[in-house]
Structure 1
Amino acid sequence: MDSIEIIWVDEENEGERLDVFIAESIPNLSRSGVQNLIQAGKVTVDGKVKKASYKVKEGEKITVALPPPQKIEVQPQNIPLEIIYQDSDLAVINKPKNMVVHPAPGNPDHTLVNALLYHIKDLSGINGELRPGIVHRLDKDTSGVMVVAKNDRAHRILAQQIKEHTINREYTALVHGVIKENLGTIDAPIGRSKTDRKKMAVVPDGKPAISHYRVLERFANYTLVRVKLLTGRTHQIRVHFAYIKHPVVGDPLYGPAKKHLGLDSQALHASLLGFIHPSTGEYMEFTSELPEYFKQVLESLRRK
């Protein structure tokens, strides 16, 4: 049975194409997916079917009938996976770039979870069958160190550390422009963008978000930074650095439309992860060196 989404057009969206407006308003719904719904008569504007190119007007009521989500069967897949450390409670892995963490519509397989199910015998079940063991996530194109839980007790303790912001997380990022200060803090709340529902943004009513950074190296038009997260909001580093006018290089969502340095995804790497072990109570810290593509970009900048 279809679920019904109702969207009202406000003043700032007047004049947008119908398909664009719906894709921006409903998370996880692509523009091509919206166009298919429109062609199938699943979208009405004030009760009438319109074309995808129809320009919406303020005050109109858009009704979208969404089909039920398809059930995804998660299967183990023999995908190469670098396991840095493993014991009976957890595993620490080095996630490669261009890998989605867990299955979802549009990415039903070849995810980190599919690889985990193949390489690791036991995984916690707190997050259900689509996200076994997943305590925290990295974006598809963000590489680096992650921890996964192998039982529910370990999962709860690690999740509590994330909630209390006691996990130590540091990232390396290449950003646009030259940052003058050697050290800085970005303290700006993050929430869903008011103009594009697929993006996050700094908004007054957002959740608190704090990023500390230090400059590692400066180039002619770029800066290499190390970022320590005090909070873990969705896309936090990407949103924060775009907010201070130094977006992450290659970021397709928050950076310039034009490609830079041959990158088609953000130059962002999870370099360090530290936490209290759920059983021993000892602090453990793991690092991951920059992937080869990132090193090559930096070498090319140093030669200029």
Structure 2
Amino acid sequence: MENTWQYRGTEPIKIKKYLQSLGMGHRLFNDLKNGQGEFLVDHRKVRPTTKILPNQPLTIIAQPEMRDLSVKISDEPLNIIYEDANWLVIDKPAGVTSIPGPSVDNGTVLNRAVKYLIDQNSSDQRPHLITRLDRYTGGLLLIAKHHVASSMISQQVQQHQMLKEYTAFVSGKFNEKHGMINKPIARREGQPQRVIAENGQQAITEYWVEEEQADWTRLRVQLHTGRTHQIRVHLASVGHPLIGDHLYDGDTSERQHQALWATKLSFKDPFTLKQLTFSREINSLPEN
């Protein structure tokens, strides 16, 4: 895998510092430095301690990641809405698991992505899921096609700089059209549910009322943190559980799974330095 950036600064800068400013993690840089890649400045191989001058191109060449043979491959399709050399953005159907686990070991997004890269004759055959969704949450999901992309985006993920918005259908009506839920979330010992608890991890969810009907309210929801079941737990905690969410006391009379979709995803591409934004619309409550 080869990637090139044109340094636009005004002062010389060390390769490590420049790559870190783009988002590269320490682990990947050390791997490249220690024999798993090369650094080129003006198309000439250089030491990792080299300084780049203004307007010089920096190229990194990373050894490809081979397939993880413990991950099965699946012929089930990926609904790809965007692809380039580094990224896949897919529209995940509700009911499809993100990664294999004890109860589902094939047919997941990861199994499908591995097969897709194999079919594309990619030198890198170990995709990395940057965002994940609950099994019954559908919508936009970001996949890095190689480990360099995964490393370069990790800083945005850790610092919650990616914009992630959801469409949620909940029971009841809100007094306010906009609100913020700031309640810590913790695991419930031995149970799949999460709970609001003082000793939990900080969790912040923002919402806007988009539409009200007699039996449901449609919300636009933005995550400011990324805790497991965060939207589901937070909305249930304020008396508005997701319709169909059996785990958090949602109304399951008409729908058996939570009415929640990831409908907007935006991040700064660390390779092109451009903002990439993707969205889909869900304006009415779909059936299961």
Asked if 1:241 corresponds to 2:258, the answer is: no
Name the counterpart of 1:178.
Answer: 173
- In the TM superposition, 1:137-156 aligns within 5 A as 137-156=132-151
- In the TM superposition, 1:12-91 aligns within 5 A as 73-91=70-88
Name the counterpart of 2:92.
Answer: 95
Name the counterpart of 1:191.
Answer: 186
Contact 1:193 1:203 (C-alpha < 8 Å) held by counterparts: no
Deviation at 1:252, TM superposition (A): 1.6
SS at match of 2:206: strand
Deviations 1:68-114 (A, max 9, x none): xxxx9422222122111111111111101100011111101111111
Q: Mind listing any 5+ residue stretches in structure 2 that lack a counterpart?
A: 1-68
Name the counterpart of 1:269.
Answer: 261
Q: Which runs of 4+ in 1 moved over 6 A?
A: none
Task: Find the aligned partners of 1:98 and 1:250 in 2 and give their Cα distance.
Answer: 13
Task: Find the aligned partners of 1:175 and 1:157 in 2 and give their Cα distance.
Answer: 36
Contact 2:86 2:149 (C-alpha < 8 Å) held by counterparts: yes
SS at match of 1:76: coil
The two structures have a TM-score, normalised by structure 2, of: 0.70
- In the TM superposition, 1:102-251 aligns within 5 A as 102-120=99-117, 121=120, 122=122, 132-193=127-188, 197-251=191-245
Name the counterpart of 2:285.
Answer: 294
SS at match of 1:148: strand
SS at match of 1:212: strand
Deviations 1:173-228 (A, max 9, x none): 0011111211110011111125x632111110111111110001111232110001
SS at match of 2:247: coil
Task: Find the aligned partners of 2:264 and 2:78 in 1 and give their Cα distance.
Answer: 18
Identity of counterpart residues, as a percentage? 35
The two structures have a TM-score, normalised by structure 1, of: 0.67
Q: Mind listing any 5+ residue stretches in structure 1 that lack a counterpart?
A: 1-71, 298-304
Specify the code of the residue in structure 2 equivalent to 1:270.
A
